Amino acid sequence: MSCELMKFVIAFAPLFSKPVFNRVKVLVTGAILSPASRTVANALRVMGLSQEKHFQNYHRVLNRAEWSCLKGSKMRVKSVD
């Protein structure tokens, strides 16, 4: 991951617990590198994790992990300044 992209992603770290944020980094990187649709399965495939035994934990980042979209939106707006 490039330095600029890493800085951008790290800015959102306070929104997530450490284990969830580690998964977020994998998903963001995989989504950027994926030549196909930006799905969790494709992101994991690109990252070499297609055989991950606990792949459902990556899906949970999007549908069960506790994080605030509103806080993330506010952080994003502040980062544009």
Q: Which of 52, 66, 79 is nearest to 21 (CA)?
A: 66
**Does the predicted TM-score (pTM) go above 0.85?**
no
DSSP secondary structure of 2-21: -HHHHHHHHTTGGGS-HHHH
Tell me: the pLDDT tens digits for 26-48? 988 888 888 878 888 899 999 99
Can you say whether residue 48 is alpha, beta or left, with left for phi > 0 and alpha for psi between -120 and 50 degrees?
left
What residue spans define the domains of the chain?
3-80
**Using 50, 70 and 90 to split pLDDT, how confident is the model at 81?**
low
Amino acid at site 75: M
Amino acid at site 55: F
- Neighbouring C-beta atoms of residue 78, cutoff 10 Å: 9
